Copies of this chain bind each other. A is one copy, B any other.
Amino acid sequence: MVEAELSVAFDPADRAREADNPHSLVVRFGMDKPLTLDAGIDLAPFQIGYQTYGTLNAERSNAVLICHALTGDQHVANLHPVTQKPGWWETMVGPGRPIDTERYFVVCPNVVGGCMGTTGPASTNPKTGMPWGLDFPVITIRDIVRAQAMLLDHLGIASLFSMAGGSMGGMQVLQWCASYPRRVFSALPIATSTRHSAQNIAFHEVGRQSVMADPEWRHGRYFAEGTNPRRGLAVARMGNHITYLSDAALHRKFGRRFQDRDNPTFSFDADFQVESYLRHQGVSFVERFDANSYLYLTRAMDYFDLAADYDGVLANAFKDTPTRFCVISFTSDWLFPTSDSRAIVHALNAGGARVSFAEIVTDKGHDAFLLEEPKLFAIVRGFLEGAAKARGLPAARR
């Protein structure tokens, strides 16, 4: 059972502390600067936890915004304060990397609804002194982006040189380009979509039900009640994790190989390597993520439907956009298949945008955007090089 492998040492209070007082930069907005939410609520006060890498140039023209995915956070390229593991995109972001922190000023905020320092359901509700839990308002991708715009205002960045994100991060990129086209010089939406498919909503709903079926969830009040819905959240993560990979990748990595033995045990132990791997994924996720944040952020992704804000005509979201786009998909990604990216490209073309598109051949599935994928790195590097030239940024040192 997953339960047996869950660390007993983990204290949920640690996460609550990280939500309010993160190991990163924080900007706190007071009652005078509320975040206006799509749900019709003004959220105030609220805060944004974020990281920066590199230096903003004198012209303030070299900022790159990184948008993280569902279970990511602001720790793109530094040791993670909870897991002590490397940042989630160190292969992409850093000195000499495709998103080169020696040339660009990289900003990555934790999303609203997250649990790593930006206000979310694990944060303290100032009205009660207790974590928000389900009293936190349901948020949307547009809300997340609106908060990011407030952060950039705070940092004095009127216009981004570029922005990049995969999966839910790509949704934020697309929403930014629709909401604030004049603030984005170039954009990289990766392995993403302008709307979540019925099948993807279905997978998220199973994950949410798994969390909510755990008696320790307590209708979201697990901090107050001293419980932790770790079993439900671990199972949710296991199910979702399958969708981030591909049949071919699972076959290549695990096939039908047994774990530490030659024959079946005729039991419900983790006989197969793939079982053992998945259990580990579930258990390690629970140590770093808040169950309610999982509910809120999956919901935000499900609600995302960019065309719906433009009378169902996606091209109108990007009409006369000045932004240069590079859209990227992966052949084996069945969560956000290439057809989703092609729909983005068609809408951008119809909107008259400058757009290049690359479908990368890989068996790594949706997670390819996070992995060692040299073709991805070369494309991002080349696209940014061209955009830097157009923006008048100094050329890369050779």
Residue among A215, A234, A275 having the largest count of chain B Cβ atoms under 10 Å: A275
Within 8 A of B (CB), among A136-162: 137-138
Q: How many residues of A contact B (CB 8 A)?
A: 59
Q: Which of B1, B39, B253, B295 contacts A268 (CB 8 A)?
A: B295
Main secondary structure of the interface of A (DSSP, over half): helix
Q: Is A87 an interface residue (CB 8 A)?
A: no
The stretch of A19-27, A76-84, A297-305, A386-394 in contact with B is A297-305
Q: Which of B2, B137, B250 contacts A197 (CB 8 A)?
A: B250
Q: Is A279 an interface residue (CB 8 A)?
A: yes
Are B201 and A2 closer than 8 Å at their CB atoms? no
Are A274 and B1 closer than 8 Å at their CB atoms? no
Residue among A250, A268, A272 having the largest count of chain B Cβ atoms under 10 Å: A268
Expressed in whole angstroms, the minimum distance between the Cβ of A170 and any Cβ of chain B is 18
> For A238, what are the chain B residues with a Cβ–Cβ distance below 8 Å?
202, 205-206, 209
Further contacts, 15 of them, CB under 8 A, given A213-B232, A268-B295 = A1-B213, A197-B250, A197-B251, A198-B274, A199-B250, A201-B274, A202-B238, A203-B239, A205-B272, A205-B274, A205-B278, A212-B268, A256-B305, A264-B303, A271-B302
A residues with a Cβ closer than 8 A to B are 1-3, 38-39, 134, 137-138, 195-199, 201-203, 205-206, 208-210, 212-215, 231-232, 234-235, 238-239, 242, 245-247, 250-251, 253-256, 264, 266-268, 270-272, 274-275, 278-279, 282, 295, 299, 302-303, 305, 334
